[in-house]
Structure 1
Amino acid sequence: METLGVPLHWLIGRPELRLTVLAGRDGLDREAVWAHSIDLADPVPWLSGGELLLTTGLRLPEAEAGQRAYIQRLADAGVAAVGFGTGLSHRHVPAAVVDAADKVGLPLLEVPLPTPFVAITKAVMERLAELQYEGVVRASRVQPRMTRAALRDGARAVVRELAVSTHATVLYLDDAGAVRAAHPSGSAGVDPGVLAELRSAGGSDRATQALSAGPHGVVVAQQVRVGPRTHGRLVLAADRELTAVDHLLLGHAASLIALQAEKPLRLQDEQHRVNSLFLRMVLDGALPLRTARDHLTEAGFPARNGIRVLVLSGPSPWQALDTVGPRLAEIGLPRFGAVREGRAVLLLPGDGPRVGMRAGGDDGAAESDRRGGAAGIGLARGLVDDAVARFGPRLWAGLSLVHEPDAGQQALHEASNAVAVAEARGRSGLVAFESLAGHVLVSAPETREVLRRMAAERFAPLSAHDRDNGTELLASLRAFLEHHGQWGAASAALEVHRHTLRSRMERIRTLLGVDLDSAHVRAELLLALAAWEGVADQ
C-alpha cells in the first residue's frame, strides 16, 4: 500500500519556509512521508525511507570523501530529500555535499537560519493531515455513487464506478475464475500471467491478496464474500502503488457486490427453511391429502403422480442437502429437505421429472407408470451419485415407494428401511425399497392388513412394557431386525452399548416367546413392523 506523503515541490512552494533547491531537481516529484531532524554522523540506523532529513551538518565529516560517503548512505537508505540548515555549523552547504547529491539524484534543500526545523516539520504534519482528510472526503463522495450504481445496475455498475474512481482496471471474477464484469471492457489491463495466478489460486482464504508489483504494476484481489459463502474476487490493477483510499473503495465495492449476490441466495435460504418445515409436517402425517398436494403444487413441486422420500446417510445432512440442491434446480424442482435422526431427508416426485406426462388407454397408462417409476429411481440415483462424488464412499441412500403426499410417514419408514439395508451391505449408493424382497407384501392393502393385525398382536406386549416402564424395547427390536441381527450395527444405530442391546433382546425374547435366532422369525417380524403404521402408539 502506498504511504501518504507530501510532494517536495509543494513544500518548496511554501514562501514562508524560504527553501532553496541546491541539487537533485529531477527528484522534486518525490513525496516526504515525514520530516526528521537528526545530526548524527551516521543517521541510517534511525531511518526507514521516505523522510525529509533535516541536519545542520554538525557531525558532517570535514573531508570531502567523508561528506560524499554521507550523502551516498542517505541515498541508499531511501530518504526523500535532505534539508541542510545553514548559518550555524556551516555558513554554506559544502560543495562536495551539493555535488554528491546531484550525482545520486537526491534533492538537497538549503534551509536558511531564520527558518526553524520545527516549522518544516509542522508544515509536513499539517499537509499530511490535509491529505488524509481529502482522502476521507473523496471516499465519502465515491461510496454513495458506488452504492447507487449497485442498486441501479448491480455488479457491472459497481466495477465501472470503482475503475473510474481509482483510475485503474477492475475485474470481477466468479469462483471459477470467469470474468463476470470488467472496466475498461475485457481484461487487457491485467497481465495474463497474473490472471492465470488468480485462477490457480482458487478459493484462497485470504481476504485481500497482492499478486504483482512488477513491470505490469500493482494487482490486488479482494474476496467477495458474506460470512462463509464466497462469490468470487474483485481485482484492481493499477500502474502505481495503491493508496489507503483505493483499498477502502475496493473493500466497499466488494461488499456491495457480495450483498447483490447474496439477495437471491438469502431468499432461497428462507424458502428452503419454509419447505423444510412443511416437509416435517408431511413426514409426520399431519396434513390431509388435499392440503399437502395443493401446497406442493403451488411451490412448483409436481405432486400429481405422488411422492417418494429419499434418505441420505453418512455425511453432514445439511451439506448433503446443499449438494443435491443444484441438481434439483437444473430440472426445475424446488428443494423440500429436512433432517431426521442425523440423516438428510428429501422429497422427490413419484415419477421423477416426467411428472404430468400422460399416455392414452389403460395399457398406455400402465406403461407410463412403469416409465415413471424408472424415472423416479433415475432421478434419485443421479442425486446420490452427485453426493457420493463429493463425500466419498461412506454415503448410503434409501428410496421409498410412490405414495400420496399424505402418506409421508409410510414413505419415510420405507426409505429408512432401505438405507439401513444399504448401510448393512457396506456399499455406497442407492437402495430402492421396491428392490427389497417382501415389499410387494408390505405395499399390498390386503396383505398389509393381515400383517398389521399380526403386528398388533405380536407387539402389544412390547408397546405396553415401553409405555409402563419407560423402556425402548420396540425401537431396539426394530434396529435389531433392520440391521439383520448384527449386534454392532444395531447398537451403533441406537447409540447404546452392545451389552445393553443384548439385555433388551433377552427381555424381548421372553415377552414375545419367539426364537430371534431364526431368520424366518426375523423376516416375519420385520414385515409386520413395515406394515404396522403407528405401532408405537398402540
Structure 2
Amino acid sequence: MILTVASVLELEPFEGSGARVVTGEDHLSREVRWVHASELADIAQYLSGGELLLTAGTGLGWTEESQRRYIREIAAAGAAALVVEESGRIFDAVPKAAIDEASKVDLPLVALSREIPFAQVSAKVHEVLTQIRVHILTREREIEASFSELLIQGADHLGIARELAKVTGCSVVLENIVHQVMAYVGKSAAANHIVDNWAVHSRETHHDDDESCIRRTVTMRGQQWGWIHLLSDGGAPFGEIDRFAVERAAGTVAASLLTDRTKEARDDQRSTALITRLMLGDLTGAAFAERARQIGYRLSGDNVVVLVINNDGRAPGEGRPTLPYISAHLGDYTLVVIPEQALNSTEVRSALAEASAGGGISRPVKVDDISVALTQAQSAATVARSLANYPVLRFDELGVERILVALGQGPELANFVRDELGPILTWDASTANPLMPTLRAFLDCDGRKSDAAAKLFIQRRTLYNRLDRLSTLLRRSLDEPATRQRLLLAVKGLDLLESDPRSRFRH
C-alpha cells in the first residue's frame, strides 16, 4: 500500500488546478514518500528520495543551463515528481529546456495552469501518508502476533507457510538447502506450474525488488537451512507488508525447526515469542509474568529488572552470555527479564562484564510496569552503543540522552542533526581533511582553544584556521555558549543515530 504520483494528483487540493502531465506519464506509479515546497536552486542536496517537489519555478533559473542542471540534480536525488506552476508568477509555461531534460531523465513533470496553496497539498499528502503508515504498522503488529502465537502453539513449518499465505494472499513455497520443496501452499494454477518445475525457479536470481517472487533465507544455528518464497501469482505488486510478513515467516520457520530438535531450543523460542508479544503490547505485564511462570520462570510478586545486552555480530551461542532467566535474542541485542534480587548474581554480573558492545539496565519495577522497563533498558543500551568504551549503563545514569533517544524514534532527531551539522557532514564527505574531529575536541573542551589544540596535537594557529572554517560553514560563531550547546546536542544525536543498527540516518 503506497501513495503514488498519480494518486496524489487526484487529491482534493489539485482539483481545478489545471494539472497536466508534461513528461514522465509512464512513471506516475512512483511512490511519494514526502512533499516538499521550495524555491531554492540547490534544493537537490536536501532531498533523500521519493519527494513530490512543488515550486513556482524560481529555483529553475532563467538560463537553459540552470534549468537543465536543476532537473538533472533533483532527478539524481530521487525526486518522485516535480510540480511547477504556470500561473505567470514566474513562468507562463514550463521552459522547454526543463521539459527536454525531464524527458531525458524520465522525471514526471506536472504543470499547473492555476495557483494552488502548496501548504494544503502538503497537509493533505501528509495526512494520507500518516493513514497509510498507521495501517501498515497495525497490520505488521497483527502479523507479528500471529507468528508469535504459532510458535507458542508449537506449529510446524507447514503451519507457518499456511499462515504466510493467509496474511499475504499469495502462494508460498518453503525449500531446503538442496532445493527440495518442504512445504507448499498454492493459490493459483500458475503457482502450481512453478512448483511442478521447481528446479527452474529455485535457481533463478532473486532481488529485493523482484516483481514475481520474494525470497528470504531461513537460517538455523548460524547455518543456511533453505529459503522461503512468496509468489505473486500475477497479482498486485508486492508491498511493504508482504516483505515484512516474509521476513517474519523466515525467522519463525527457523525457530520452529529448532524447537523440533531440543527442549532447550524450544524453551528459548517460547521465551523469545513471549518477550516479542510483550514488546508489541499484546500481553500485559501480569499476563507475561503468568505465561513465564508456566514455562518455568518466576516473576510475579517481585520487582523485576530488564537488561538489554548489545550484540556484537556473533550468532547465538558464539560466546554470547547464557542466563537462566527468560530472554530473547532479537538481532541487534539480547533482552533479559530478571527478578530484582538476581541483578547481583554471579551469572548476571559475568554476563554484563562480558558485554563487549555495552548494554542497558532499567530501574526495578513491578511486573505490571515491565513495558516501561523495556523502554528504559533499550534507551540505556542505545546510548551505551554510541560511546567509545561501550559501557553497561543504568537508565538513571542517562542525562539529556534520554530525550535524544526518544526523539530518535521518529524523524525529529535526524532532522535536528542535519540542520545543525549538515554543512560539516557534507564537507567531511568530500574532503581528506574532515572537520568533525576538530569540532568534537573543541566542544569536549567547552570552547577552550588551547586545550582543544593540545587534545588534537596541533598548533593553535592550525586550530584557529579550522574553527574559522567551521564558523563559515555553520554561519555562526563558535564562541557563543548557546551555539556550542546546540552543537554538542547535535553531536550526541549524531553518535546515537550512527550507532543504532536500526537507524536509516544518512548524511
- TM above 0.5, one fold? no
Give me the TM-score of the superposition, normalised by structure 1: 0.39
Give me the TM-score of the superposition, normalised by structure 2: 0.41
